Chains A and B, each alone.
Chain A
C-alpha cells in the first residue's frame, strides 16, 4: 500500500472511532441521567428531558473529531505523533510523491501504532457505557427506592407512584350510649350515620392522621393516630350535622358524612282501667287503675297521678297525689297497677277525680323522656244533675239502646270476620246477611228517630218502600223537615251556629248513612269491610247522645247582643295600625329547591361534588322532612357509585320528594295557565 492509501485507511478508522466515542459518551450520559431520574421518581417526561443532555454531549464530542474528514489533517496528526517522518507523509498524501519520499513515509510502521491507539481510546467510553447500563438495570424501581419514598412522603405521594388517599375508604364504629343497652356496630364507607343522640361515633381510615382534617359544623375536630390508621371521634349531636373530612395530600379530596341523630321516643302509656270517664252518685269502694307501658329503648319508672278538684263556680280547691311509683330497670315494657280507695279521698258531690299514668324512660343523655296516658275523670254528681246526666245503672234511653245494639252488631261481625277463613262461602254469606238484616232494622229505628224529630212520620215497617234507599244529605233531611211543615230555620249554610234541629240530627243522619254502607258490605258477605262503617255509626250515635245532653237538657241560655244598637256606640276610637308582619313563604322549601338546582348543575361536571351537595341538603332535611332525607341519602350513595341510569332514577326520586310528582293532563288546557 502506498502512504496515501495507508493514511486513507487510518482516516476511515479515525472517523469511525470518533463516531463511536461520541455515541458511547452520549449514551453513557443519557443512561446515567435516566438512572438518577428513576431514583428520584421523576415523571417520564422529566426523565426524557434530562436524558437529552446525552445527545448534546455526543454532538459536542462528534464536533471535535470533524477534522478527521480531511486526509491532510490526518497526515499532519500522524506527523505530530511521529516526528521521524519529517513531513514525508504529508508530502506523500498531497501529491504523487517521489519514491524516496514514499519510502521515508513508510519507513516506520506508524499505521499499526495509531490503529492500536485509536482502538484503545474506545475502551474507556465502552467500559463506562457498560457500567452505566448495569447501573440502570440494578437501580431499584421508584416503588421501593427509599429516596423515592422519602421524596414522596414530603410530596404526599404513596407507593407505586400512586397518590395515597387516606379518605379512599373510611370505616365507622358506632357506640350507643350505655343506657340504651345497644351493641356497638360498624359501617363501611357510609355517607350517613344514624345513631342515638349521645352515641360515640368513630370515623377511621388508613394513613397518617397528619393528612386528615375534620370539621363538625365548622368546628375543628382533631384526628388521632392509631397504628397506621387515623381516627376522628365525635358524639352524635342532638340535631343533624355534617362531618367534613378533608385530605391534605396533593389533590386531596373531601368527604362528607351526615350525622343523623335518632331520637329516643318518650314512653307510650295506655290507661287500661278505668276504661272511660264515669259519673257516680256516691264515691265509695276502690277504683282499679291499670296501665300498660312501652318504650323503644327502656323504661326507668312510672306512677299514677291523681288530681282531686272540689268546689264550684269561682271557688275551687285541689289536691294531688302520686300512686304506685314503680321502677322498671330499663325494661322496654311493663304494666302498672294500683287500687285507689275512693273512701280515703272523702269525695263530696261535685268533686272530680282525674287520673292518669305517667312513665319516664332511662334516657340520661337528653332526657328522661316523659310519656303520659289519657286522663280519666270520675265525677260525683251533684243532686241537681241527676236528670241530665247518664248515671251508671240507669236504664238506657232510646239512643242508648241503639248504642247497645250497634255494639252488639259490631261484636257479632268481628267474630264472623275472625271465623271467615274456616267457613265456606255459602255459610259465610248466610251469617253475614243475618247481621245485615239486623243492621237494616237498627237503621230503620235510627231513621224513625230522625224523621220523627224533623216532624215527619216514622219510616214504616220493614221492607216498606218508605225506608229511603241509599244515603241522605243534610240538605235532603232539611227538605223533608220543611216538607213535613217543620220550619228548620233559615237556609242552612256552612257558617254560623247550628240550629238544634241540625245539631241534634246530623249525628244520627251520619249513623243512618254509615249503617247503609255497612249493610251493603254485609249483604255481599264482606264482614271485614262492614266493620269500619259500623264503627262510624257507633261513634255517630255516641255524638248524638252528647248533643242531646247539651241541646235538650240544660245548655246555658246565650245572651244575644243587639249588635245594631251597639254598633260604633263606644266613646273611644281605635287608631290605624301599620302592619309590619306578613306571612312569608316556607323558606326551607325554597332553599331546598335552589340547592337542588345547584346540585343538578354540578351533576354533569363532578358527580362527587353533586353527591356532597345532596348530603348537605340531607342534613337540613333531617329535622322536618325525614322522608326527603332518606331519598337524598340514597341518591348521594348512588351518585358516587351507580351507573348513569341508576343516578338518573335516584335524582328523579329526589325531585319528586322535593316538590311532589308532576301533574299530568292528557289534553291541553283551553287557556294558558288555566287552573
Chain B
C-alpha cells in the first residue's frame, strides 16, 4: 500500500509533469504564432491607397474591406478587382449615389461642349474641369450644361462622389456648300456660317447661265463637304448629287422650294405647306425666330423627329437618310432675324445656323481622340458594381479578434504547479 510519502512524491512528480506539459504547450503556441496567418485590412475611400499597398505587399492579407464613402478612382477599382482575382476577399459597403456624366462636342467649328449629368434623385451637381468650376446644375434627375470649351476632363461632383468624362478634341470640319439664288437669304446664310467658323462655298444664280460661285464646287462628296444647304429650287440640277451625298454620310439642310425638288423628296423629313406671314413689328419690337414668316412642315415621315415647333406649325424636322442626316427648315427669310433681331439678333442667327449645320454634319472625331476618352470614369457606381459586385452587409466587416487569455492561464498554472511542487519538497525536507 503506498504510504503518504509515496503519494506525496507521486503528486510532486505529477506537478512536475504538468509544469513541463504547460511549458511545452506554451512553446508550441509561440512557435505557431510566429508563422504568418491571414490579416484583414479595412479602409475608407480616403485612405484606400495605403490599404491597397498593404494588401498587395503583404502575403498575409486575407481580406480587404472598403467603406465607400467617397469616389474611388478607376485605378483603385481595378486594383481591388485584381486583388480579388489574386485570392484576397474584397468586400465593400456604402451607398454611393448613381451618378453619370458625359461630355460631347457639337459638330461645329467652334464646338461647344455639352455636358450631361444624370443621377438617381434630385440633387445639385457641381461641374468643373481642370481649370476650375464651370457651373452647377440641379439634376432632377438629369441636366445639361453647354460650355464654350473645357480644359482637361470634366468632373461632375455630388458631395464626395464624382463622375468624370472627357470631351473629345475638336475635329476639323469640312466645307459647307450653299445653293440658292442671289438674295438676302443666301447672302446672310453664307455670312452667318462663315462668321461661325465654317468654311463656306456657294453657288448663287443671278441670271440664266450666270451665277456667282466659288471655284471647283464639284464633286459634292463627304471628302470635301460636311453639309449642303439648298435654299430654293435653283438647286434642282444638283438634287441627285445632294441625295447621293446624304446617302454617303453627308448632311443636308433643305428649305423653301427646295423641299419640292424631286431628287430630294426621298430624303427630306417633311414637305412645306403654304407660307404664313410673320409678326408685324411695332416700334421697339425685335424679331425672334418665332416671328419669322414660316412655311409649316407637313407630311412628316415616320422616322422624322420634330425639333422646333411654332404656333403656326412644325418649323424644323430632321431624319436620318442613308448614312447621313437631313434637316427640313420651314422658316422663311431667316435673315430678318439677323437684321431686325435687335442687339443680339446677329449672334443668335449665326449660332442657330451653325447649330443646325452641326446637327446634320457627320461625326469626324479621330480614333486617337476616342481612345483617350476611354480613360474617363463616366458611371462610377455602375463600374464599381461591375468590378466588385454588390456591397456586403454591414455586420460582417472588420471582425475583432477574440481576446486571448490562454497564455496568461498557462503562465498562472505553470507557476502554481512549480510553487506547489517546490513547496511540497521543501516541507518534506527534500532539496
Residue numbers of A with Cβ under 8 A of B are 473-475, 491-495, 502, 506-507, 509-510, 513, 536, 539-540, 543, 568, 573-579, 582-586, 589-590, 593, 596-597, 600-601, 603-604, 647-649, 651-652, 655, 658-675
Residues from chain A with Cβ under 8 Å of B151 in the complex? 597, 600-601
B145 touches A664 (CB 8 A): yes
B143 at the interface (CB under 8 A from A): yes
Whether A585 touches B194, Cβ cut-off 8 Å, given contacts A494-B293, A576-B210, A666-B140, is yes
A-contacting residues, B98-120, CB 8 Å = 104, 106-107, 109-110, 114, 116, 118
Residue in chain A with minimal CB distance to B115: A662
Bound together, the chains give a CA A660 to CA B344 distance in angstroms of: 13
Residue in chain A with minimal CB distance to B305: A671
Residue in chain A with minimal CB distance to B117: A668
A583 touches B135 (CB 8 A): no
B116 touches A668 (CB 8 A): yes
Bound together, the chains give a CA A648 to CA B155 distance in angstroms of: 15
Whether A662 touches B207, Cβ cut-off 8 Å, given contacts A510-B283, A597-B151, is no
Residues from chain B with Cβ under 8 Å of A603 in the complex? 131
Query: Which of A540, A584, A658 is most buried by chain B, counting CB atoms within 10 A of its CB?
Result: A584
Bound together, the chains give a CA A188 to CA B109 distance in angstroms of: 43
A666 touches B145 (CB 8 A): no
B134 touches A655 (CB 8 A): yes
B133 touches A648 (CB 8 A): yes
Residue B359 contacts which of A492, A494, A509, A674 (CB distance < 8 angstroms)? A674
Bound together, the chains give a CA A264 to CA B287 distance in angstroms of: 37
Residue B280 contacts which of A492, A539, A543, A577 (CB distance < 8 angstroms)? A492
A600 touches B277 (CB 8 A): no
B132 touches A652 (CB 8 A): yes
A507 touches B283 (CB 8 A): yes
Residue in chain A with minimal CB distance to B333: A495
Bound together, the chains give a CA A368 to CA B51 distance in angstroms of: 75
B210 touches A574 (CB 8 A): yes
| 30 A/B residue pairs, CB under 8 Å, sorted by A | A473-B280, A474-B280, A493-B277, A493-B278, A494-B279, A494-B287, A536-B284, A573-B210, A576-B212, A579-B214, A582-B200, A582-B201, A585-B110, A585-B195, A585-B196, A593-B110, A596-B149, A597-B149, A649-B132, A652-B131, A655-B131, A658-B148, A662-B135, A664-B137, A665-B146, A666-B138, A668-B118, A673-B359, A674-B307, A675-B355
Bound together, the chains give a CA A323 to CA B315 distance in angstroms of: 62
A663 touches B146 (CB 8 A): yes
B277 touches A492 (CB 8 A): yes
Query: Which of A491, A647, A666 is most buried by chain B, counting CB atoms within 10 A of its CB?
Result: A666
Residues from chain B with Cβ under 8 Å of A492 in the complex? 277, 280
Bound together, the chains give a CA A652 to CA B147 distance in angstroms of: 12
The 5 residue pairs across chains A and B that have the minimum distance between CB atoms: A659-B148, A648-B132, A583-B194, A585-B197, A493-B277
CB distance from B112 to the nearest CB of A (A): 8
A662 touches B293 (CB 8 A): no
Residues from chain B with Cβ under 8 Å of A474 in the complex? 280, 282
Residue in chain A with minimal CB distance to B146: A663
A-contacting residues, B185-233, CB 8 Å = 190-191, 194-197, 199-202, 206-215
Residue in chain A with minimal CB distance to B187: A583
A673 touches B355 (CB 8 A): yes
B281 at the interface (CB under 8 A from A): yes
Residues from chain A with Cβ under 8 Å of B142 in the complex? 667-668
CB distance from A513 to the nearest CB of B (A): 7
Whether A675 touches B148, Cβ cut-off 8 Å, given contacts A536-B284, A583-B194, is no
B12 at the interface (CB under 8 A from A): no
B79 at the interface (CB under 8 A from A): no
Whether A673 touches B132, Cβ cut-off 8 Å, given contacts A578-B215, A590-B197, A597-B151, is no
A-contacting residues, B342-400, CB 8 Å = 352, 355-356, 358-359
A574 touches B143 (CB 8 A): no
B144 at the interface (CB under 8 A from A): yes
Residues from chain B with Cβ under 8 Å of A664 in the complex? 135, 137, 143-145
Bound together, the chains give a CA A603 to CA B130 distance in angstroms of: 9
Residue B144 contacts which of A475, A668, A675 (CB distance < 8 angstroms)? A668
A494 touches B307 (CB 8 A): no
Whether A651 touches B118, Cβ cut-off 8 Å, given contacts A583-B195, A668-B144, is no
Residues from chain B with Cβ under 8 Å of A473 in the complex? 279-280, 282
Q: Give me 10 other A-B pairs in contact (C-beta within 8 A), A494-B280, A652-B132, A666-B138 excluded.
A: A494-B287, A495-B336, A576-B210, A576-B213, A578-B212, A585-B196, A593-B149, A659-B148, A669-B144, A673-B114
Whether A509 touches B282, Cβ cut-off 8 Å, given contacts A582-B200, A668-B143, A673-B355, is yes
| Interface size band for B | 35 or more
Residue A665 contacts which of B109, B143, B284 (CB distance < 8 angstroms)? B143
Bound together, the chains give a CA A133 to CA B370 distance in angstroms of: 70
Residue in chain A with minimal CB distance to B118: A668
B172 at the interface (CB under 8 A from A): no
Residues from chain B with Cβ under 8 Å of A597 in the complex? 149, 151
Residues from chain A with Cβ under 8 Å of B421 in the complex? none
B166 at the interface (CB under 8 A from A): no
A662 touches B146 (CB 8 A): yes
Residue A494 contacts which of B191, B194, B208, B336 (CB distance < 8 angstroms)? B336
CB distance from B110 to the nearest CB of A (A): 7
Query: Which of B131, B305, B333 is most buried by chain A, counting CB atoms within 10 A of its CB?
Result: B131
Residue in chain A with minimal CB distance to B307: A674
B118 touches A494 (CB 8 A): no
Bound together, the chains give a CA A579 to CA B211 distance in angstroms of: 10
CB distance from A598 to the nearest CB of B (A): 10
Bound together, the chains give a CA A495 to CA B340 distance in angstroms of: 11
Bound together, the chains give a CA A577 to CA B202 distance in angstroms of: 12
Bound together, the chains give a CA A604 to CA B106 distance in angstroms of: 27
CB distance from A540 to the nearest CB of B (A): 6
Bound together, the chains give a CA A491 to CA B276 distance in angstroms of: 9
A666 touches B137 (CB 8 A): yes
Residues from chain A with Cβ under 8 Å of B199 in the complex? 582
CB distance from B311 to the nearest CB of A (A): 12
Residue A510 contacts which of B140, B191, B282 (CB distance < 8 angstroms)? B282
Residue in chain A with minimal CB distance to B151: A600
CB distance from B127 to the nearest CB of A (A): 8
Bound together, the chains give a CA A673 to CA B351 distance in angstroms of: 13
B131 touches A576 (CB 8 A): no
Residues from chain A with Cβ under 8 Å of B109 in the complex? 585
Residue A673 contacts which of B208, B212, B287, B358 (CB distance < 8 angstroms)? B358
Residue A574 contacts which of B200, B206, B336 (CB distance < 8 angstroms)? B206
B308 at the interface (CB under 8 A from A): yes
Bound together, the chains give a CA A206 to CA B146 distance in angstroms of: 49
Residues from chain B with Cβ under 8 Å of A502 in the complex? 280
Bound together, the chains give a CA A573 to CA B207 distance in angstroms of: 9
B277 touches A662 (CB 8 A): no
CB distance from A495 to the nearest CB of B (A): 7
CB distance from B297 to the nearest CB of A (A): 15
Bound together, the chains give a CA A540 to CA B212 distance in angstroms of: 43
A675 touches B307 (CB 8 A): yes
Residue in chain A with minimal CB distance to B350: A585
Bound together, the chains give a CA A492 to CA B280 distance in angstroms of: 8
Residue B213 contacts which of A513, A578, A667, A669 (CB distance < 8 angstroms)? A578
Residues from chain A with Cβ under 8 Å of B147 in the complex? 659, 662
A675 touches B308 (CB 8 A): yes
Bound together, the chains give a CA A539 to CA B355 distance in angstroms of: 39
B283 touches A574 (CB 8 A): no
Query: Which of A506, A509, A589, A662 is most buried by chain B, counting CB atoms within 10 A of its CB?
Result: A662
Bound together, the chains give a CA A552 to CA B209 distance in angstroms of: 45
CB distance from B68 to the nearest CB of A (A): 27
Query: Which of B139, B144, B196, B281 is most buried by chain A, counting CB atoms within 10 A of its CB?
Result: B144
Bound together, the chains give a CA A661 to CA B358 distance in angstroms of: 21
Bound together, the chains give a CA A669 to CA B209 distance in angstroms of: 45
Whether A584 touches B148, Cβ cut-off 8 Å, given contacts A664-B143, A675-B308, is no
B149 touches A659 (CB 8 A): yes
Bound together, the chains give a CA A662 to CA B145 distance in angstroms of: 6
Bound together, the chains give a CA A673 to CA B358 distance in angstroms of: 8
Bound together, the chains give a CA A583 to CA B138 distance in angstroms of: 39
